[in-house]
Copies of this chain bind each other. A is one copy, B any other.
Amino acid sequence: MRFFSDNAAPAHPKVLEAIVAANRLDTAYDGDEQSQRLDRAFSDLFGTEVRAFWVTTGTAANCVALAALCPPYRGILCHKDAHIEVDEAGAPGFFTGGAKLILLDGEGALVTREIVTAACDRIRSDVHQVQPAALSITNATEYGLVYRANEVAALGELAKERGLALHMDGARLANAIASTGESLAEVTWRAGVDALSFGFVKNGGLNSECMIIFKTDLADEIAVRRKRAGHLLSKGRYLAAQLLAMLENDLWLENAHAANACARKLGEAAPQRLVYPVEANEVFLNVSADEAARLRSQGFDFYDWGPGEIRLVTSWDSDAQAVEKLAAAIAAL
């Protein structure tokens, strides 16, 4: 019974069906009929004109966009636990040509207006220090916490005041939206987000993520940067098909609701052990090494997350029975 990553889950059957259905001759790269429908489909979803680009990884989605938002000689403000800082092998440095990640503190990997302001104010405005050009936030955060629309808007306003672009790593944006019930529009472009990595792979996709560009005048540059990074697949229709399948009947939202519900159940099993409130599909618990071993001996698989902490991740296909069992096992510790 695996709770170590939503990356490990299989693809949703409808995603797979869409790939199979796409298996016919069409134009190469993103000239095919389905790739050509993405802008329209995501513009409708977000309620504004966007440009939507398939890519195969969150790292690519984050870093192609960041390279367009931040020149090589400036910096990107982000939380010190952000995925781009911690788990992308230095990809932001590679894609931007050496821009600097300027690290922020913040509980649960959430950043606030105050934190960003203080970080900016610490930087002397001269040629010796790297000046920030962008702010990147993750929603839901690396600790499963969720930004509300008004929190993003406060950051968006600050970004505008400071001349910063605003980027959102939404590897688990679906879970965030499912959690708050706020709209995609409110949490993103209406709050000032310029570019978004909209994650689908952790949420039932096979290998297609989506880069959403709200600042559409960057789209042509981004198309070139995607190609130049080797991310323009020659049979793009199989990626586009996945995204369209995820949008159909809001499958993306349905999957996220399912994953969140399982996480909630796990959290409710031991509220006193929670390191952070459960707001999306990740559960961080204070569990000793002994206790962790006991859980593992019962067949549960998960990651340790620092000393005395474990991380449980649920996914769109989490088995209800396995969740019940794990909840019971945690409660019984």
Contacts and interface: CB of A to CB of B under 8 A. Distances in A.
Interface of A: 2, 5, 7-11, 16, 19-20, 23-29, 55-61, 63-64, 71-75, 86-91, 93-101, 127-131, 201-202, 206-207, 221, 223-235, 238-239
Contact of A23 (B16, B61, B221, B239): B16
Nearest to A206: B238
A7 B29 CA distance: 8
A93 B101 CA distance: 11
A201 B238 CA distance: 12
A73 B99 CA distance: 14
A23 B229 CA distance: 28
Contacts of A9: 25
Contact of A97 (B11, B72, B129, B235): B72
B56 A202 contact: no
A128 B88 contact: yes
Report which residue of A63, A75, A130, A226 has the largest number of chain B beta carbons within 10 angstroms of its beta carbon. A130
Given A25-B2, A25-B8, A89-B127, A63 B221 contact: no
Contact of A223 (B56, B71, B127): B127
Contacts of A5: 28
B233 A57 contact: yes
Query: Lowest 8 A-B CB distances belong to which pairs?
Result: A93-B98, A60-B230, A97-B97, A7-B28, A59-B230, A89-B228, A7-B234, A127-B227
A3 to B, nearest CB: 11
A29 B8 CA distance: 8
B230 A231 contact: yes
Given A7-B234, A8-B26, A57-B232, A89 B72 contact: no
A100 B90 contact: yes
B235 A7 contact: yes
A229 B331 CA distance: 42
A300 to B, nearest CB: 14
A238 to B, nearest CB: 6
Contact of A128 (B100, B202, B227): B227
Contacts of A229: 60, 91, 94, 229-230
